[in-house]
Amino acid sequence: LSHGIIARIEGIKIKSTGLILLAIIPGAFVEPDENDLNNARKLSQARIYAAGSTTNIIIALFALLLLSNFPLIISPLYETTSSGVMITGIVPNSPADGNLNNWDVIIKINNKEINNINDLEKILKTIPPNSMANITIIRGNEIKDLSIILGKSPTSTSSYIGVYIYPYFKPKFFFIPSFIPFYLSNSLNWIYFLSLNIGLINLMPIPGLDGDKLANTILKFLFKNGFGLKISQIIRFICLMILILNISMSFIIFPSFKFG
């Protein structure tokens, strides 16, 4: 969509616009008039080709800014310092399975206060695996004490509950759900991750991407005798190999990401 805005600013006609859906991600496309675009100044062409990636990177930086100031963002509705750890998921067949629920808030273990994730990790290291622990939780509007036999962590020597956790920010009003900060921060993380990567990949000079058109425009401007085309082909090959190598190494280093 940003391509179309810049195209109109540069006085280039728009042939068509539309909406697309990639998996569950909505988007839009704009098709500038090819004749107007080809006859436009090189600077105007470069601005149009760079518009999409620039917008994505700006969105990513804005999401990062919000994440960096997250306590301030939620401060009208929530306390800005955590006062426990909230359970966002249960590992099947773990000590927590059948004892704890999603959105329970752990506030004490063996009468020692838990204010954040670091507190939880430190206390679990002091408790021997396979021993009983008294866990105090907030469930709904009630405070409950539970006795759970802890397991052994599969990745360290400390005890293990078997939960996915997130800092608990206490709502300032009784009708505000406690899980909103979790979903909000997750959404911002995904917006940052997707926008930054889409923006950077789209800037790569690979055929079919805006970066290829941008690189060709710049190289044609710098080299008038066709030498720019040769440089463009070399850059295309190098960037394509880098992209393929990165994808291949991701599947080797993180085999759990393989399909099937």
Question: Count of CB atoms within 10 A of residue 6's CB?
Answer: 20
What digits encode the pLDDT tens for the residues 134-164?
A: 999 999 989 999 999 999 888 777 899 999 9
User: Exposed/middle/buried for 240, CB within 10 Å: 0-12, 13-18, 19+?
Assistant: middle
- Cβ-based neighbours of 252, under 8 Å, separated by 6 or more: none
Which SS3 state, helix, strand or coil, does residue 185 take?
A: helix
How many residues does this entry show for the chain? 260
Task: Give Cα 75 to chain centroid, integer Å.
Answer: 22
The DSSP H or E segment spanning 67 is helix 42-68
What is the residue-averaged pLDDT of the chain?
86
Cα separation, 54 vs 127, whole angstroms: 51
Task: Name the pTM for this structure.
Answer: 0.80
Domain ranges, ordered by start, for the chain: 41-69+186-257, 82-168
DSSP state of 171: B
Confidence of residue 254 (pLDDT cuts 50, 70, 90): low
Which positions ≥6 away from 175 have C-beta within 8 Å? none
Amino acid, single-letter form, for residue 183 = Y
| Chain CA centroid to CA 76, Å | 24
Asked if pLDDT for residue 258 goes beyond 60, the answer is: no
The tokens for 225 are 């005798």
Residue 156's pLDDT is what? 77
CATH H-level superfamily of 82-168: PDZ domain (2.30.42.10)
- The whole-angstrom separation of Cα 128 and Cα 143 is 25
Query: How confident is the model at residue 8, as a pLDDT?
Result: 74
Q: Which residue has the tokens 């690979």?
A: 206
| Sign of the CA dihedral with 157 first, then 148, 162, and 125 last | negative
Contacts of 128 (CB under 8 A, 6+ apart): 159
Between 195 and 34, name the one with better pLDDT. Answer: 195
Rounded to the nearest 5 degrees, what angle is found at the Cα of 39, between the Cα atoms of 9 and 236?
Answer: 95
Residue 255 clears pLDDT 70, i.e. is over it: no
Amino acid identity at 35? N
Q: Is the pLDDT of residue 202 over 50?
A: yes
